[in-house]
Amino acid sequence: MLLRLVPVVILTILIGPVLAGLAGIVAPALGYLPVLGGEQVTLHWFDQAAMAPGFARSAWISYWTGLATSAISLVLVVLFLAGWWGTRWFARLASATAPLFAVPHAAVAIGLAFLIAPSGWLVRLVSPWATGFAQPPDWLIVNDPAGFALLAGLVIKEIPFLLLMTLSALPQSDAPRRIRAARSLGYGRVWGWLSTVFPSVYAQIRLPVYAVVAYATSVVDVAIILGPTAPPPLAVQILRWQYDPDLTLRFTAAAGAMLQLAVTGGALVTWWLGERAVAALGRSILTRGWRLPRDRALRLASLGGIGASALLVIGGVVVLALWSVAGLWQFPDALPDMLTFKHWMRHAGMIGHPTLTAVQIGLTSAAIAVLLVLGAVENAYRRGITPTQRVLALLYIPLIVPQISFLFGLILLVLRAGIDGTFWAVVVAHLVFVIPYVYLALADPYAAFDGRYLSVARSLGKSPARAFFTIRLPMMLRAILTAFAFGFAISIAQYLPTLMIGAGRLPTVTTEAVALAAGGDRRVLGAFALIQSALPIVAFVAAAWIPAILYRRRRALRGAGAWT
């Protein structure tokens, strides 16, 4: 049966490019790439990469910002849940923060840069009346050599992701009863949550957390926009080598890509050791009977942290929008002297084409991903299979192996096949990252669907296929469209696969925005980044509105019901 092949197809798409890519960098990293005259196996290029000026610093920046990003965003999210879960503030802030997951990395980073730069909005808002600045101060905030701006950009981007993952893990943690039990024993809200709910929540979000560690240690687009430049984080350095006119640097780049694996792997091992230490510490503290009932300061700090992070993302998008329609906007004015659409008009051609390309790639890869994932979950349902944790872990492989490392090997294969820069090659490269998220978005609602509806349909004489199309699909429309929107958002955000596999021939809003980020015109950059963040938002709004309109006379399906 065709359906049975779907899981195989999915695993091939997820794991195939990663394995092929990793295999593909080994040879050039060892100096073997006859096309470029490399015919001898040597460790020379590892030396070249490691001895390159600033290499140690590059690796260190990647390592520490990656770990710090993961630790800060996880601690904030966990403390926020511990301190506020079940309150009105929680409901409000969580429903404002989680959707920010859809705003692409590059747009978040550019928005943040527009906010915190010395000539950014935050300084303008308090100048000159509070600061006395008539000129932008001479501070190196964005692209600071230590990587704090990069860290900030990654933290505000990862918080919504971890919040989403934690929220979806909560229902399996029996939180309300455990909290009540802990609090009735006199435990404070935060410590009660941490000691009774957190362990089982963390067990479920472990892989997403590892994905954050891996991503943050090897990120390229955010690092180009916010990160240090001399030397840059390792992944950016590798990209520079790759696109250097001196072709021998390709060998250095391949060796660098392998070293990136080591840096990310090292960060993951560090994190894992940290997990052990925290668990051991936790176990020993739990036996002391400390109640920690006075946790007000901690609660307020977590609320402030999550609130500030959400505000920085939202404020960033607002300031992108503002710049894209700004007339004259001199420092230190808080607002432009007038709003105008003339930049949009003037750059319409320049903006329109990459937008269209991004939308085409996004729609295609999201549609393919949704079809494949539907096939896989339906196959599992019909055969009564519940995917094991081990199988689900495979989904995370493309999210944990650094993009830059395997894309690097993959591009060599793609070049050899002569399909670089083609639409479909880029779509397949996107699918590697789109499928896991579509699966994560669809699997739970699929399993939660009341199978008795399908039994009713079968008893009424309908085949399994008819029951699927006439009952399951329409009833799950909202969940399916939401999964589609997730896939679309992930595709829109892809920078490196689009750049490398697209070979620069398929520019999208994302590749253009990152390319313009270094010293480009803020108005054009604002327009690009605004479109980049608007596209996923449009997809999510459509995913909510289409079922709402279609089912406006169907009360059970109208609201944000059990199927979202």
Partner 1 sequence: MKRHAIGLDLNDVDIQLDGRRIVALSHKIAPGEVLTVMGESGSGKTTLLNFVAGFLPPAFDATGRVVLDGVDVTAMPAERRQVGMLFQDPLLFPHMSVEGNLLYALPAGGSRAERGTRVSGFLESFGMGELGPRDPATLSGGQQARVALLRVLLAEPCALLLDEPFSKLDADRRDSVRKFVFELARERQLPVLLVTHDRADAAAAGGPMITL
From 54-62, 113-121, 167-175, 467-475, span contacting partner 1 (CB under 8 A): 467-475
Say whether residue 545 binds partner 1 (CB under 8 A).
no
From 65-73, 204-212, 271-279, 547-555, span contacting partner 1 (CB under 8 A): 547-555
Given candidates 34, 289, 461, 519, which one binds partner 1 under the rule CB under 8 A?
461
Given candidates 43, 185, 371, 456, which one binds partner 1 under the rule CB under 8 A?
456
Say whether residue 556 binds partner 1 (CB under 8 A).
yes
Given candidates 91, 417, 455, 521, which one binds partner 1 under the rule CB under 8 A?
455
- CA 547 to chain centroid, in Å, comes to 26
**Cβ burial 372-394 (10 Å sphere, 16+ → b, else e):** bbbbbbbbbbeeeeebeeeeeee
Distance CA 378, CA 359 (A): 28
Distance CA 299, CA 87 (A): 12
Strand, helix or coil for residue 290: coil
The per-residue DSSP string of 206-259 comes to HHHHHHHHHHHHH--HHHHHHS--SSPPHHHHHHHHHT-SSTTHHHHHHHHHHH
| CB within 8 Å of 536: residues ≥ 6 apart | 102, 103, 104, 485, 488, 489, 492, 493
End-to-end CA distance of the chain: 30
- Name residue 315's amino acid: G
From 78-86, 172-180, 186-194, 554-562, span contacting partner 1 (CB under 8 A): 554-562
Given candidates 42, 229, 389, 470, which one binds partner 1 under the rule CB under 8 A?
470
Say whether residue 548 binds partner 1 (CB under 8 A).
no
Given candidates 458, 520, 537, 564, which one binds partner 1 under the rule CB under 8 A?
458
Distance CA 495, CA 214 (A): 16
In the complex, the smallest distance separating the C-beta of residue 1 from partner 1, rounded to whole angstroms, is 14
Residues 373-432 that bind partner 1 (CB under 8 A): 383-384
29-34-37-40 Cα dihedral, nearest 10 degrees = 60
Say whether residue 452 binds partner 1 (CB under 8 A).
yes
Given candidates 88, 294, 390, 555, which one binds partner 1 under the rule CB under 8 A?
555
Say whether residue 290 binds partner 1 (CB under 8 A).
no
Strand, helix or coil for residue 147: coil
For residue 95, what are its two tokens?
A: 């429903």
In the complex, the smallest distance separating the C-beta of residue 465 from partner 1, rounded to whole angstroms, is 10
Say whether residue 553 binds partner 1 (CB under 8 A).
yes
- Name residue 67's amino acid: L
Say whether residue 481 binds partner 1 (CB under 8 A).
no
Say whether residue 471 binds partner 1 (CB under 8 A).
yes
Given candidates 113, 151, 249, 457, which one binds partner 1 under the rule CB under 8 A?
457
Backbone angles phi, psi at 385, to 5 degrees: -100, 135
For residue 252, what are its two tokens?
A: 């250095």
Say whether residue 450 binds partner 1 (CB under 8 A).
yes
Say whether residue 4 binds partner 1 (CB under 8 A).
no
Determine which helix (DSSP H) or strand (DSSP E) holds 38, and give its type and residue range.
strand 38-39
Q: 124 vs 478, which CB is nearer to partner 1?
A: 478
| CB within 8 Å of 219: residues ≥ 6 apart | 105, 154, 233, 235
Q: 178 vs 458, which CB is nearer to partner 1?
A: 458
In the complex, the smallest distance separating the C-beta of residue 11 from partner 1, rounded to whole angstroms, is 23
In the complex, the smallest distance separating the C-beta of residue 374 from partner 1, rounded to whole angstroms, is 17
DSSP 386: -
Residues 172-211 that bind partner 1 (CB under 8 A): none
Q: 169 vs 475, which CB is nearer to partner 1?
A: 475
Binding site for partner 1 (CB under 8 A): 383-384, 450, 452-453, 455-464, 470-471, 474-475, 477, 551, 553-557
